[in-house]
Structure 1
Amino acid sequence: MSLADPLVATRPRPTAWRSLGGSLFFHGLLVVLACWVVLRTPNLPPAAKEFVAHAVAGGRSGVPASVHPVQRKPKVALPAKRLVSKSASATLVLPPMKLMMPEAGLAGLSAGQGKGGFGRGQGAFGGNGLGAGLGNRAGFVGRPVMGAFIRAQRVAVYLDCSGSMRSYLPRVEAEIRREFPDADVFRFDGARVVGLDDVVVFGRRFHGNAPRLREGPTQTALETLTPNGRSVQAKVRTACEKGSLGAWMDRLLAESYDALVVFSDFQDGVRLYETKKGEPKMVYSDSSYHKVGGVQKGHTRWQREWLEAFAKAPSGAGPRLYLFTVQKVPQAFLQACVAASGGASTSVSWLKKGGRKASP
């Protein structure tokens, strides 16, 4: 080409792109063939190995043991058999079977302690083992008292020693001590349950001026109390002489008793006061002597606390409540406490006639 000839631009041939496309096509074809080969090859399960057991004879140290291969025989499935009789009068007699005893008793209805066990074993090659076991279980036993079952071990009893109740007290205490000789029996006047605002009058959290209430000295016989009962009596005496049953229940909920038992005619009832202009004013009473306010709507704080405390009784964290009445059905709130604790409310009106209630 001479210098006078014009310059003409030329495009290079796309040889590189063609090579790349050919390479991709070739490798893709190889991948497809490999997948086809893998998927077409069946997966055969591994061959089951035949179980061979070896019997070893010997046992003395220093003597070589002889080994004999033993082949296990395959199990043969036996056809199921059943007895069939076409006779309408045919009978089937089975051999006697041993009765199965339950491992654990019902909570609250059984108590006891399991026996210990002992075992020993020794192997042929010098090994030996030794083991011992001891088990126990305990629960509250239900004991019949005047027509009710009291499930407890530590029992505290409140006897209403007002004038109308005194003639029954010796027999009631004897009935209770016949089943619970270590029960702590407290005697206070009446069966009043009095609340002021959010606390029980003369209860654990009570401070301030109380409503005017009837008071009576205790008639508790200290010589009949356990050491713990005498300690409790010293703590609650003054409060219960003024606050009656309400103060007693509120304070004994904090003690370690499994059951609280109350005997009364339940005529005093539940009375609620509210502080208005610095003075307590009665807003509710279901007493037989003076009713105020009709049906109570809702519960005060101390009533909710009682219900929560008694609701812990089924799990062993609180006492059960048992009420015995010779006249009036216990008040609705006390009945609610009984239901929450799993206790019982029982009429003993037969005491008036000098009779005796049959054991449940």
Structure 2
Amino acid sequence: MDQPKPFVAGRRRASARSWRGFLLSLAMHSLLVVVACWVVFHEPVSPTKQEFTAHAVAGGKSGGPSQTHPITRKPKVLMPQKRLTSKSASATLALPPMKAMTPEMGLAGLSGGQGKGGFGRGQGAFGGNGLGAGLGNRAGFVGRPVMGAFIRAQRVAVYLDCSGSMRSYLPRVEAEIRKQFPDADVFRFDGARVVGLGDVVVFGRRFHGNAPRLREGPTQTALETLTPNGRSVQAKVRVACEKGSLGAWMDRLLAESYDALVVFSDFQDGVRLYESKKGEPKMVYSDSSYHKVGGVQKGHTRWQREWLEAFAKAPSGAGPRLYLYTVQKEPQAFLQACVAASGGASTSVSWLKNGGRKASP
């Protein structure tokens, strides 16, 4: 009689366990599929709208006890946005009436942006408290019309060319400026020369050494018309500007706290550049009406680049704007570049020659 083979029984038991595991796994996966379908396709129940209840407490110092009154507030209901359309060319739209503009509202709008900032706090007699803050930007000046241009500034320094050909215009020009800027510092020096020697402005902030031979003239600035700060500036720049004219004045006032530099001249003197040759200054460029040298200037010297960089800071409030008024010649190309960098203006006032009046811009 043959003996049973143990490995055959082992195979049958293993096969039975495999089928049971397969069926159990299939059942679990089917259950997961059913649950997933229920979650995906089940319609959620909209939450019930809740009413918010607030409690107001009434009481005071009259002696009566305080009482609580429930107040029911309905939740806000969002209204869907609607778009109004019409195919009629003559259709009209009526809007609700708005508050009329008042002068006070206009002044408030104009003054916005001029303050440097503020903060306030107050307390009422019946326990009320108030808190407020204000911000401003010094670059947001409101322009004021002066002889055909808008000057956007609060602290203004003016250079008047007091050479012989310009003196007859100066009283009227100063009066026009003071109509809008009564506290402007008005400086009077001879000519409108801008002279450079190498990398520096002749008689400017960094000038040392031998200067080219230039015409000099005493200042005609009226000290009594200057502000205290203007008198301090005049004391610092007087000697340099009597020798270096407009170039020395602009170079030195770029370091002062003015929002605008205003120049009035006929701009005949122009820009002159010198280089040191064997220890002596030699002219290499001039766009003066009296003596032209070198044709068109190629590139800028170091001091010219510094001026352009300083004026380019004006739109952000970190430098002054430049305004040029001429009665005859258009200002030189370099000065025009400074005007463009600062966001200022160059304006012809040739109508002053005939005693006319320019219409306000």
Q: What is the CA distance between 1:40 and its match in structure 2?
A: 2.5
Name the structure 2 match of 1:36.
30
Question: In the superposition, relative to structure 1, how do residues 23 and 358 fare at CA in structure 2: closer, same or farther (>3 Å)?
Answer: same
Question: In the superposition, relative to structure 1, how do residues 92 and 317 fare at CA in structure 2: closer, same or farther (>3 Å)?
Answer: closer
Distance 2:309 2:69 in 1: 73
Partner of 1:314: helix, strand, or coil? helix
Distance 2:194 2:155 in 1: 23
Distance 2:248 2:356 in 1: 32
Question: In the superposition, relative to structure 1, how do residues 276 and 26 fare at CA in structure 2: closer, same or farther (>3 Å)?
Answer: farther
Distance 2:109 2:297 in 1: 41
Name the structure 1 match of 2:61.
none
Matched, 1:232 2:226: no
Question: In the superposition, relative to structure 1, how do residues 205 and 37 fare at CA in structure 2: closer, same or farther (>3 Å)?
Answer: same
Letter in 2 for 1:37: L
Q: What is the CA distance between 1:326 and its match in structure 2?
A: 0.8
- Kindly report which structure 2 residues correspond to 1:255-266, keeping only aligned pairs within 5 A, or say none: 255-266=256-267
Question: In the superposition, relative to structure 1, how do residues 34 and 305 fare at CA in structure 2: closer, same or farther (>3 Å)?
Answer: same
Matched, 1:353 2:354: yes
Cα deviation code 1:100-135 (max 9, x no counterpart): 879984799988999x99898x9xxxxx86334354
Matched, 1:174 2:172: no
Q: Percent identity?
A: 72
- Kindly report which structure 2 residues correspond to 1:217-256, keeping only aligned pairs within 5 A, or say none: 217-256=218-257
Which blocks of at least 5 consecutive residues in structure 1 are unaligned?
1-11, 123-127
Distance 1:240 1:256 in 2: 18
Retained in 1: the 8 A contact 2:143–2:151?
Answer: yes
Question: In the superposition, relative to structure 1, how do residues 321 and 52 fare at CA in structure 2: closer, same or farther (>3 Å)?
Answer: closer
Partner of 2:248: helix, strand, or coil? helix
Higher share in helix: 2
Name the structure 1 match of 2:303.
302
Cα deviation code 1:176-213 (max 9, x no counterpart): 11221111111111101111111111111112222121
Q: What is the CA distance between 1:356 and its match in structure 2?
A: 1.7
Q: What is the CA distance between 1:31 and its match in structure 2?
A: 3.6
Retained in 1: the 8 A contact 2:56–2:71?
Answer: no
Distance 1:111 1:58 in 2: 41
Distance 2:202 2:180 in 1: 33
Q: What is the CA distance between 1:155 and its match in structure 2?
A: 0.7
Distance 2:344 2:96 in 1: 45
Question: In the superposition, relative to structure 1, how do residues 17 and 356 fare at CA in structure 2: closer, same or farther (>3 Å)?
Answer: farther
Task: Point out the structure with max Rg over C-alpha.
Answer: 1
Name the structure 1 match of 2:323.
322
Retained in 2: the 8 A contact 1:111–1:140?
Answer: no
Q: Please report the TM-score for the alignment, with normalisation by the length of structure 2.
A: 0.77
Cα deviation code 1:37-79 (max 9, x no counterpart): 20232213553343353768895779898999x9x89x8999x
Q: Please report the TM-score for the alignment, with normalisation by the length of structure 1.
A: 0.78
Retained in 1: the 8 A contact 2:260–2:322?
Answer: yes
Question: In the superposition, relative to structure 1, how do residues 82 and 189 fare at CA in structure 2: closer, same or farther (>3 Å)?
Answer: closer
Name the structure 2 match of 1:5.
none
Q: What is the CA distance between 1:254 and its match in structure 2?
A: 0.6
Cα deviation code 1:262-283 (max 9, x no counterpart): 0111000011112233322211
Which blocks of at least 5 consecutive residues in structure 2 are unaligned?
1-5, 59-64
Greater shift after overlay, 199-208 or 240-249?
199-208
Name the structure 2 match of 1:311.
312
Retained in 2: the 8 A contact 1:108–1:142?
Answer: no
Matched, 1:47 2:48: no
